[in-house]
Amino acid sequence: MGSKSINIWRSIDWMTVILYLILVLCGWISIYAASYDFDNASIFDFAERSGKQLIWIGLSLVLAFMILMVDFRVYETYAYLFYGIIILLLIATIFLAPDIKGSRSWLVLGPVSLQPAEFAKFATALALARSFGTYGFSLKNRRDLFRAVFIILLPIVLIIAQKETGSALVFASLIFVLYREGLSGLFLFYGLCAVVYFVVAVKYSSVLWGEIPAGEVLVFVLILLVVVGMLLFYQRNNRAARYLMLGYLAVGAVCGILMYFDVPVNLLYVCMGTTAAVIVYLVLLYFSTRSLRILTILATAVVSVVFLFSVDYAFNEVLESHQQKRIKVTLGMEEDLRGAGYNVNQSKIAIGSGGFWGKGFLNGTQTKLKYVPEQDTDFIFCTIGEEEGFWGAVGVIVLFVTLIFRLIAIGERQHSAFGRVYAYCVVSILFFHLAVNIGMVIGLCPVIGIPLPFFSYGGSSLWGFTILLFVLLRIDASRAERH
C-alpha cells in the first residue's frame, strides 16, 4: 500500500490539482464578496455562506484524497453500478423532493440538501466511458450507438421530470464526446441547424409580412440553402447544386416582379411549394444515383420541415410560461426589466459598472446592496466583473480555459478508451457550464440556472465537480501503475 501511494503522488497531474485549488480559493473569496454582510464581516463565520462553503471545501478535499486512494480499477469495474445507483436516486427525487421554486430536484436530509443531478454527471461519464471501453465497441454499430445515446438520454429525461431543465441540458454536451470518438459531424451540424431554426422561427414569429409570420418564411429559406450547401460540400454534386440555385433565383425573380406590380404573393406558400419541388427533385436524384448521401440530404430536408412546424407547438405548449419569457427576453422580443429580465439586466449593470480595473474587493455597490438576485450562486460571475473589472473576469476565464486544455492533454495521453472518453466527458461538462453560465450572466443565453464550477455557492455542485475531476486524475495516475 505504501509503494502504491508513492506512485500515485508521483504520477498525479499536479498542474490540474493546482488549478483546481486556485479556482476553489477564488470561488470561496467570491462567495464571501457576494454575500458580504456589513454587520458580520468575518469570512470564517459558519453562519454565513462563506463559512458554510469553507466546510464544503474542506469536505471536498477529504473526498478528493479518498478518491485518489481508491484503486483505479474500481471506477471502471463498478461504473454501471454507480450509474444505476444515481438513476435510482434521480427517480426517488422526482417523488420525494420538496417543491422548491417550481422544481423537485433537491433531497433534504436533515440540515443538508443534496442535488442528485450534480452527481449524475460523473456517474453518466463513467458509464459512457465503460461502454466505449468494451471490447469491439464502435459507434458505427447501431446497437452500440443506441446504448451510448440511451446512457446520456436517461438522466436527461429524469432530470427534466424534476423540472430542472438547465441541469438536464448539461448532459447534451456529451455529444461532443461521441463526435470525438467517431460520430459523424452531421449530428453536430443538425444540432446547430435545430438551434438556428428555433431561434429564427421564434424571434421573427411576431413579425408579419402581410399576414404571414416572417419566421416561417426565413426558416424555409434557410432549409433550401442547407440543401444546396449539403449538395456542394457533402455530396460534392456541383451540377445539382447549380440547378437548385438557378431555380431559387428564378422563383425569387418571379416573386419580385409580381410584387413590383402589386400582385399579392403569399411568400409562405411560395416557400412551401419550392421546398416540395426540391424534395421531389431529391427523390428523383436518389433513384437515379442510388446514393446514400442524397438520401441523407433528402431526409434532412424533410425532417427540417417537420421540425419547423413543431416549433410553435414546442414553444407554446411544451415550455413553461417562465421559460418562454426568458427566451423572449434573451432574443430581444421583450424587455420585462422588472420580471424575467431583471436578473440579467442587474447583472449587466454590475459588470459594466466595474469597468476595466473594477471597483475593488468588497466595494461593489450593485452586489453589496443585493440588487442582483442569486449573486452568490448562478450569477456569481457578476460579482467578479463588478469588483475585479474586466481584467479579473478575463483572469477567471483564462484559468478555466487553461484547466480545460490541460484536461484535453490528459485525455489524449490515455492508453485506454475508458480513460480517454471519461476525460472528454469532464471537458465537455466543464466547457458547457462555463460557456452557458457566463453567457447567461451577460445576456447571451437564456437564464437556465446552472452554476459556475468551483465558484457558485453550494455543496452539491462543488462535490459533483470535485468527484468528476479527481476520478479523472486517479485514472490518469494509474498509467504509471500499468506500465
Give the tens place of pLDDT for each residue, 369-410: 777 777 888 899 999 999 999 999 999 999 999 999 999 999
Q: What percentage of residues in the chain have a pLDDT greater than 90?
A: 61
Confidence of residue 476 (pLDDT cuts 50, 70, 90): very high
Nearest alpha-carbon partner for 125 in 405, 478, 479, 472: 472
- 208-209 and 212-213 strand pairing: antiparallel
| Chosen domain end from 277, 294, 327 | 327
pLDDT of residue 178: 94
Of 98-112, 143-157, 199-213, 224-238, the poorest mean pLDDT is in 98-112
Mark whether 371 and 323 lie in a shared domain.
no
Mean pLDDT of 106-119: 84
pLDDT of residue 340: 66
User: What stretch of H or E contains 213?
Assistant: strand 212-213
Mark whether 340 and 303 lie in a shared domain.
no
Mark whether 55 and 171 lie in a shared domain.
yes
- Residue 8 predicted with pLDDT over 90: no
Query: Does residue 212 sit in helix, strand or coil?
Result: strand
CB-CB contact of 457 with 111 (8 Å):
no
pLDDT of residue 480: 58
| Chosen domain end from 327, 358, 375 | 327
CB-CB contact of 144 with 138 (8 Å):
yes
DSSP string, 314-337: IIIIIS-HHHHHHHHHHTTS---T
pTM: 0.89
CB-CB contact of 197 with 219 (8 Å):
yes
pLDDT of residue 337: 67
Nearest-angstrom CA–CA distance, 130 and 422: 9
Mark whether 225 and 155 lie in a shared domain.
no
Mean pLDDT of 407-425: 95
Give the tens place of pLDDT for each residue, 336-362: 666 667 888 888 888 988 888 889 888
- Residue 110 predicted with pLDDT over 80: no
Mark whether 337 and 385 lie in a shared domain.
yes
The alpha-helical segments, DSSP class H, found in 97-213 are 116-132, 142-161, 165-172, 175-180, 185-203
Can you read off the three cell numbers belonging to residue 408? 484535453
- Residue 368 predicted with pLDDT over 80: no
Mark whether 221 and 134 lie in a shared domain.
no
Query: Does residue 291 sit in helix, strand or coil?
Result: coil
pLDDT of residue 56: 94
CB count in 10 Å sphere of residue 161 = 16
Nearest-angstrom CA–CA distance, 159 and 174: 16
Mean pLDDT of 274-296: 94
Confidence of residue 281 (pLDDT cuts 50, 70, 90): very high
Mean pLDDT of 301-321: 90
- Residue 77 predicted with pLDDT over 70: yes
DSSP state of 109: E
Give the tens place of pLDDT for each residue, 116-148: 999 999 999 999 999 999 988 988 888 999 999
Confidence of residue 5 (pLDDT cuts 50, 70, 90): low
Mark whether 152 and 232 lie in a shared domain.
no
pLDDT of residue 294: 95
CA angle at 262 for the pair 258 and 267, rounded to the nearest 5°: 55
Query: Does residue 204 sit in helix, strand or coil?
Result: coil
Nearest alpha-carbon partner for 68 in 480, 472, 424, 430: 472
Can you read off the three cell numbers belonging to residue 305? 420541415
pLDDT of residue 448: 83
Confidence of residue 435 (pLDDT cuts 50, 70, 90): very high
Mark whether 168 and 257 lie in a shared domain.
no
Nearest alpha-carbon partner for 303 in 189, 171, 212: 189
Mark whether 272 and 317 lie in a shared domain.
yes
Chain mean position to CA 403: 17
Mean pLDDT of 139-159: 94
Confidence of residue 29 (pLDDT cuts 50, 70, 90): very high
DSSP string, 442-458: TTSS-----PPTTTSS-
Mark whether 255 and 314 lie in a shared domain.
yes
Query: Does residue 103 sit in helix, strand or coil?
Result: strand
Average pLDDT, the chain: 89
| Chosen domain end from 286, 306, 327 | 327
Mark whether 118 and 47 lie in a shared domain.
yes
Confidence of residue 11 (pLDDT cuts 50, 70, 90): confident
Domain around 290:
188-327
pLDDT of residue 260: 86
What Rg, from alpha-carbon coordinates, does the chain have? 26
- Domains in the chain: how many in total? 2
Mean pLDDT of 206-210: 80
Nearest alpha-carbon partner for 126 in 173, 189, 83: 83
User: What stretch of H or E contains 208?
Assistant: strand 208-209
Nearest-angstrom CA–CA distance, 244 and 228: 7
The alpha-helical segments, DSSP class H, found in 183-291 are 185-203, 214-233, 238-260, 267-289
Nearest alpha-carbon partner for 79 in 118, 133, 115: 133
pLDDT of residue 369: 74
- Residue 418 predicted with pLDDT over 70: yes
CB count in 10 Å sphere of residue 92 = 12
Mark whether 169 and 256 lie in a shared domain.
no
Q: Choose the most confident range, by mean pLDDT, from 3-17, 64-78, 208-222.
A: 64-78
Output phi, psi for 339, to 5 deg.
Answer: -120, -110
Query: Does residue 107 sit in helix, strand or coil?
Result: strand
Give the tens place of pLDDT for each residue, 446-473: 888 889 999 999 889 999 999 999 999 9
Query: Does residue 37 sit in helix, strand or coil?
Result: strand
Nearest-angstrom CA–CA distance, 379 and 33: 13
Give the up-direction half-sphere exposure of residue 223: CA atoms within 13 A in the CB hemisphere: 31
Sequence length of the chain is: 483
